[in-house]
Structure 1
């Protein structure tokens, strides 16, 4: 029997496994995916949002706790637990040295990501390199890792963990950390969560899955059915507007369309439906998937002109181009007359001051609904570009309720040996909305807490002398 069983294979799971092992516990990590697809959604990440009171290595200026909290409060609309959110924020200021000790390297942000140069620390080589570094470190420390090991149920005694089951196999442990992700790859559960809209459509049928195909929510559903306290709205998620040509699974960051704030977005009826310049893109990119999901056919189109080229991170697929607006409409399958009228009305309403995409500038619209409050410039310079958008689900926010010990709760009573981290509890901090890098902050903070607590729980069950010696 191992001391600590970690179920999951992404950032939160790996942080838990490493912390438990560093505390002297023997650790077994079960990853549902095969080795080549290990890492869950963490393999698609780029950075970690970090609090810091002064410039630090790759981070410029300062990003104090209160500003971080206000950013989170704004995007969640208050649907967040302030105590747990501030715990995550404070942990983000001290975790990077620990990450480096386990092989994670950081780099300054690329030019297309300068908006977050002050707030986010970028991983050298991206999330895949981070995941690989953690696995190397875990294995070097003696953590056992099993791939192709999807746990389908747990054996519980009241609120205590006894064993995990993979089919007919039973795996006992003195303590357990659940970090197996949300249900974003479970189409039936997404359909149930989103339901049918007033047009008779099932919006979830048109969702693409930005991340891993292995996050089916099996353990999340098991725990909720077993009476664990839940939190969050099943329809809320990290949902990004991505290229409609993206693959069904694992498209990752390169399928995101980042030019939204530089132009206009129209729906299938060639009409605008939201303020494209509401705030900086890293604070607003994750609302556009849900906005697109609410449109007819769950599709939208990001439209820019030649002036925007070079001002955003180019996506993996080139945009549809045309020398005239009617030609672009034809190529996108939009009604040319309506499209041209929408763009003409937008152009006429633009009040262009000093354009500055690095600031909340004074370029805005007047007399237009919805307004565009920043970066409003006429779309008038050929060639014109269009990108078809679909909702891209990264991870879901329905999860298990926790306190600052990361313990799973049953009727508000915390388990003494079952803990949870990552997507399976992110809804405590993210009731809705998103700001870049905060998912990794939550996973890192609660993964480290859960691993430490699980090792302590195992120690309580078993005398310290019986702990396996660290490798």
Structure 2
């Protein structure tokens, strides 16, 4: 029997497994996916949001605790547990030396990565390289890993973990860490959460999944049925507007279109529906998936002209190109008259000052609803480009309620040997909204806490058993 069982195979699970092993516990990690798809959503990530009080290696200037907290408070609209959020923020300041010891390498942010060089540390080789580094380290330290091992049930006794089940197989351990993600790739659960719209359509049928197809939420649903305390709204998620041509699963970061703040967004009725220049893109990119999800047919269109080209990270698919706005409307199959009128209204409302995409500049609209607060320039320079966008769900926020020791709770009482980390508990910190890199901050902080606590619980029990 192993001391610690870790269910999951992404960043949080690996951090937990490594910490538990370093503490002297024997560890078994169960990953639902085959080896080649290991790593969950972490394989699609690029960076980690980090607090720091002075310049540090790849991070410029300073990003103090209070500023990180205010950024998080703003995007969540206050739907966050401040104590747990600050725990994550402080942990983000000290985790990188530990990550390096396990083979993770960092690099300066690339040109065009949304001016994140001050706030976010980028992984050399991206999330796939991070995941591979952790698996190599786990193997070297003697962590046992099994692939194609989807846990579908837990055996619990009075809130204590006893065993995990994979079908008919029963796996005992002295303690357990759950780090197997949300339910974003479970279409039926998404349909249930989002329901039907006024036209009798199911919005969730038009969602794409940016991340892994293996996050079906089976264990989350099982834990809810077992009476575990939950937190979060099932319709809230890290949801990004991505290219409508993206694959159903695992499109990852390259399917994102980062041109929204440089142009306008219209729905299928060719009408604008939100301020494209409200704030810096890293603080706002993750609201657009939900905004598009609330539009008719769950589709939106990002419209730019040639002035914007070269100012954003090029997406994987080229935009639809046209020599005139009426031609672009026809190519996108939008109402030509209304589209041209929407763009004319926008262009006429632009008050162009000194355009600067790196600051909250003074280019704005006047007398337009919704306004465009910054970076508003007339869309008049051909060729014109349009990108059809759909909601791309990265991970869902409904999860298990936890505390500063990463314990799973039942009726308000914490378990003494069952812990949770990563996307499965991110809703404690993220009630809504998102800011770039914070998912990895949460997974790293709580993965490490859960692993250390699980080892302590298991080794304490082993010691007691041998006494």
Check if 1:126 corresponds to 2:126: yes
108-117 or 253-262, which moves further after superposition? 108-117
2:341 corresponding residue in structure 1: 341
Give TM-score, length-normalised by structure 2: 0.99
After TM superposition, give the deviation of residue 200 of structure 1 in Å. 1.7
1:21-32 matches, within 5 Å, as 21-32=21-32
| 1:141-168 Cα deviation digits (max 9, x unpaired) | 0000000000000000010000000011
1:251-330 equivalence runs, <5 A: 251-330=251-330
* 3-state SS of paired residue (2:388): strand
CA distance in 2, matches of 1:115, 1:244: 26
Q: Which residue of 1 aligns with 2:428?
A: 428
Native 8 Å contact 2:406 2:419 kept in 1: yes
Task: Name the SS for the 1:88 alignment partner.
Answer: helix
1:42 alignment partner in structure 2: 42
- Alignment correspondent of 1:389: 389
Deviation at 1:460, TM superposition (A): 1.4
- Mapping 1:150-161, distance limit 5 Å: 150-161=150-161
Equivalent residue of 2:136, what SS?
helix
Q: Which residue of 2 aligns with 1:61?
A: 61
Number of the residue aligned with 1:469: none
Where do 5+ consecutive residues of structure 1 fail to align? 467-471
Quote the Cα distance in structure 2 between the aligned partners of 1:173 and 1:75. Answer: 39
Q: Distance in 1 between matches of 2:100 and 2:158?
A: 39
How far apart, CA to CA, are the structure 1 residues paired with 2:276 and 2:124?
Answer: 31
Q: Which residue of 2 aligns with 1:355?
A: 355
Distance 1:263 1:407 in 2: 45
- Structure 1 CA distance, aligned partners of 2:114 and 2:5? 40
Partner of 2:227: 227
Q: Distance in 2 between matches of 1:326 and 1:296?
A: 22
Mapped contact 2:114–2:282 kept (Cα < 8 A): no
Asked if residue 201 in structure 1 is aligned to residue 198 in structure 2, the reply is: no
Q: Name the CA distance, whole Å, in 2 between partners of 1:162 and 1:259.
A: 50
CA RMSD of aligned residues (A): 1.0
Deviation at 1:199, TM superposition (A): 2.3
Deviation at 1:463, TM superposition (A): 1.4
Question: What stretches of structure 2 of length at least 5 have no aligned partner?
Answer: none
Whole-Å separation in 2 of the counterparts to 1:465 and 1:155: 20
CA drift at 1:262: 0.1
- Displacement of 1:114 after TM fit? 4.7
Aligned counterparts of 1:382 and 1:114: Cα–Cα separation in 2: 25
Structure-1 residue corresponding to 2:459: 459
TM-score, normalised on structure 1?
0.98
How far apart in 1 are the matches of 2:75 and 2:198?
Answer: 27
Q: Does residue 401 in structure 1 map to residue 407 in structure 2?
A: no
Q: In structure 2, the residue corresponding to 1:367 is in which secondary structure?
A: coil
Tell me which stretches of 4 or more aligned residues in structure 1 moved more than 2 Å: none
For 1:67 and 1:461, the matched residues in 2 are separated by: 41
